[in-house]
Chains A and B, each alone.
Chain A
């Protein structure tokens, strides 16, 4: 962490809830999304598999191709001839998959045929003329189906439906088990859900024949990796692809998987010699636009009688559906922070990734951490009951203490800072924990069932890419970093360009606050293009917006580039004013002599020297006033199985939910919700609060409403927002958000992740609250979502949700 008093010229903006004026275009409907780009285009529609698992015997596209206005009809076979197969990141068994279905279909919604037509209506009409003959195979929907002895293989070449099976042990787990007085073991089932951003995927691709190069506009979330993937798959040089990302309406991880469709669109553009456009429909998005995997987790705690947890084992099986690129990575991320906020000396993890005939999975907000914290925090409650402790006390006894920071987990994950007990104490007091327990008893007398539940969670950020190294030798990516260009223009205003993109997080405002304080100007004078152009933007393989890396490496790059610009400005000013640079200060858009402020030069003047009157520059100085910098997080360790860190910052939070359950209808109402959050230094508390609440609502959705339901044939039944239920503003509680600030020593400003946290901690808090409310009925919560029907059944019959 830098000394902020030295870094900043003023302390006016960082730390304030500055209004997001830079984002007013979104509110006014003036943003430029891919679909808004006016271009002469052919329009693309996909014929998608109606079977979950089938061999493709024959595809007859002749009638579609003959329809007037149809420009091209391309099958998976055609695509496979012109592309390389998808490269998986984590799985260890061989599996060959192309961007469209070839020979076999593996999920309902898998693209089989692409049609390009003069307009989208015609393209959709053409789909209805395509004849596909399938030979249905046994659909493997649930994990159990895929692991059955006689199950057919989804990827024959893999020899198994388990594409990754990893065992990891850290610390002395044998000893922990020997010392323990008791063991608590449970199995949990987590369902499939996702983020469903407001804007679905959208791509325009154009082939510049003269250069044999593609220009692509897409709402891609990780252009650094996508450009690599697309070039590799098309077998073209890096120079053959220019990727432009305009405004994007939400990402949450789901837009990390858009590149296979970029590959298809490029092929279609080349074939038709036209710009081609595809805008995903909501149905396509829900069906084939990627989910978080469902999972079965077995977890065991080895405890001392006093409640101290000595060892932790999990067996995690995730249903990765049929997208091999990211299959397996959830498990590895879960594993990294499996001890949560607790000082647990030894861990054992068995991680399994299973392919099934469900839809594809990709990183979704929190990537596995919601599952891991859910099972861990459920277990802590269960264990507390076993040893006769209050759940809060159980947590206090096991927390990593502030004095232990930086704390290394058994596997080498480093928690750089944090005060977990303080967060819990604050949450207990804000939620009125003690009074509530009394009120709960009174209400029960009246036949009303209230409950309170808590969870303490780690919210890791900034992926140390390459954590999936374990199996494939050295990974393609390591560490994490980002690039930024900071320039001062003719008018003396600042503009910033990042290698990353923005899906609505407010990066432009946050960046403006930091730069404004570094240069002593108003944030209104700092503009940032959140659009990305791979030809122009500073660029790394890591570039993109994911794993909450913005506050760390993105701003790191901005700060480093701003420092370079600032130094250059000082040298020009020093030369112009005839004053030692060390005696100069920044004031309201000017640089002046500290001893006599009248001796000053405005930014605009400095810019004029740099860009125009270049003969007035100091001897030997380059003209121009624009600097590029790349910044990498210093805490990343290189891959090693014995000692590694998957994430490079670790925020934490405590969630405390109070609910009322109507035991006759099963309805769960959230009465009160408290979030105590620690993301280190806050740059814009308004944005932080929005993130904390927004991500929590995502978790509430996962617990109470959202589920991708498949039938036994692998047909997805929740293909619209009538059936895939998002939480609504109506029906949500008021959130009370409080902060603890433990600055992070390994980021420049002391910041840490914010954006995923609520989606991680809320699952267990709500489940624990529901279990508490239903304690008189002895109901145990071991699965999600908690639907009204499951509640009623548990209360009346099964005793288990």
Chain B
């Protein structure tokens, strides 16, 4: 680890962090679990002058079910929602009883991120803010239709997951904002699955598909949301697939058919581990398999 010189700050409150960020602006970088940022510093790809470590801000690490009125203030979701602090680690999400019971997609996804060390340090907020085009959590929050809270000098605002990811390493966060909380709805009636294709168990996804599916009468698809990662420059909702599924009975043929729309309208990326053609093929295979598994 031979980064360029930087000045290090270690605020203990959100307020302090926001004011530091306000002072140093674009020359500063926030540090959460460091599982992406440290490699960039090491390779000198990122060379911030100021590093603001969020690690000591205890108020940003939690998983809880907010009171009913708090929830009602923002959403009309009948089954409530769960709030997760941005600094919550993958390990905490994976081990959370609350999430396992009321939003199993998140623990299931967190469990396949990297390896134990990465999961012990990496955070949900860091993963989303970093917006790696192959990150796992973005696919899950897309399928869950989560909402993300950004806090800046001028107050807070909520961003829908769908509007959060703008491109490779690019999000709707402004340079002076900190992502503080992620809210996911409790979806008891929906089945959810995350499936990931990777060269080795702890690798980034070549393709990752998260599915939330609600079946109605006759096994027909009542509601479906699909988050896809690894396939293109950013994680996205596979609206083409969703459209072909709604109202249809999920027979193998229908699934195959819908899955073939997974890369519709996106420029499929290429790397030494997967060409465009192979990645597109994998995306179709994984979309089918994820739907089969959620059925």
On A, residues with C-beta under 8 Å from B are: 45, 120-121, 124-125, 281, 283, 664-666, 705, 709, 717-718, 720, 722-723, 725, 727-728, 730-731, 787-789, 792-793
Contact = CB atoms under 8 A, between A and B. Distances in A.
A101 B3 CA distance: 26
A315 to B, nearest CB: 29
B82 to A, nearest CB: 30
Contacts, number: 50
A718 B200 CA distance: 15
B278 A705 contact: no
Interface in B203-231: 203-204
B282 interface: yes
Contacts of A731: 200-201
Given A281-B2, A718-B272, A789-B278, A725 B44 contact: no
B201 A792 contact: no
Contacts of B275: 789
Interface in B60-106: none
Contacts of B197: 665
B285 A725 contact: no
B274 interface: yes
B202 interface: yes
In the A-B complex, the 9 residue pairs with the closest CB atoms: A789-B278, A730-B201, A709-B272, A664-B285, A717-B272, A124-B2, A728-B200, A120-B2, A725-B199
A592 to B, nearest CB: 56
Contacts of A720: 39
A709 B272 CA distance: 7
Nearest to A125: B4
A717 B5 CA distance: 27
B199 A788 contact: yes
Contacts of A281: 2
A723 B272 contact: yes
Interface string B1-20: 01111000000000000000
B282 A728 contact: no
Contacts of B5: 121, 125
B155 to A, nearest CB: 38
Given A121-B5, A281-B2, A665-B285, A705 B200 contact: yes
A132 B263 CA distance: 44
A725 B203 contact: yes
A792 B281 contact: yes
B141 to A, nearest CB: 23
Nearest to A709: B272
A793 B272 contact: no
A666 B279 CA distance: 12
B43 interface: yes
Interface in B238-295: 272-275, 278, 281-282, 285
26 contacts: A121-B2, A121-B3, A121-B4, A124-B44, A125-B4, A281-B2, A664-B285, A705-B199, A705-B200, A718-B272, A720-B39, A722-B203, A725-B199, A725-B203, A727-B200, A728-B200, A731-B201, A787-B199, A787-B273, A788-B199, A788-B278, A789-B273, A789-B274, A789-B275, A792-B278, A792-B281
Q: State the majority secondary structure of interface residues on B.
A: loop
Contacts of B3: 121
A664 B278 CA distance: 10
Contacts of B278: 666, 788-789, 792-793
Contacts of B274: 789
Contacts of A725: 199-200, 203
A87 B8 CA distance: 49
Q: State the majority secondary structure of interface residues on A.
A: loop
Contacts of B2: 45, 120-121, 124, 281
Contacts of A120: 2
Nearest to A120: B2
Is the interface on chain B under 10, 10 to 19, 20 to 34, or 35 or more residues?
20 to 34
A663 to B, nearest CB: 10
A717 B272 CA distance: 8
A730 B200 CA distance: 8
B272 A665 contact: no
Nearest to A710: B272
Contacts of B282: 665
Interface in B1-52: 2-5, 39, 43-44
A666 B278 CA distance: 10
Nearest to B275: A789
Nearest to A728: B200
B81 to A, nearest CB: 34
Given A125-B5, A723-B272, A730-B200, 11 more contacts: A45-B2, A125-B4, A665-B197, A665-B282, A666-B278, A717-B272, A725-B199, A725-B203, A788-B199, A789-B275, A792-B281
B35 to A, nearest CB: 12
Contacts of A121: 2-5
A721 to B, nearest CB: 10
Nearest to B206: A788
A786 to B, nearest CB: 12
Contact of A283 (B43, B201, B273): B43
Contacts of A45: 2
Contacts of B201: 728, 730-731
A698 to B, nearest CB: 15
A362 B203 CA distance: 29
A446 to B, nearest CB: 16
A300 to B, nearest CB: 33
Contacts of B272: 709, 717-718, 723
Contacts of A705: 199-200
A91 B179 CA distance: 61
B113 to A, nearest CB: 14
Nearest to A791: B278
Nearest to A729: B201
A45 B4 CA distance: 14
A792 B272 CA distance: 15
B7 to A, nearest CB: 14
Nearest to B4: A125
Of A665, A666, A709, A723, most B-chain CB atoms within 10 Å: A665
A164 B142 CA distance: 58
A45 B3 CA distance: 13
B64 to A, nearest CB: 32
B4 to A, nearest CB: 7
Nearest to A707: B272
Nearest to A43: B2
A67 to B, nearest CB: 12
Nearest to B288: A664
Contacts of A722: 203-204
Contacts of B4: 121, 125
Nearest to B285: A664
A116 to B, nearest CB: 15
Interface in B170-217: 197, 199-204
Contacts of B202: 728, 730
A664 B204 CA distance: 20
B182 to A, nearest CB: 26
A787 B274 CA distance: 9
Nearest to B202: A728
A120 B202 CA distance: 31
Contacts of A709: 272
A723 B200 CA distance: 11
Nearest to A123: B2
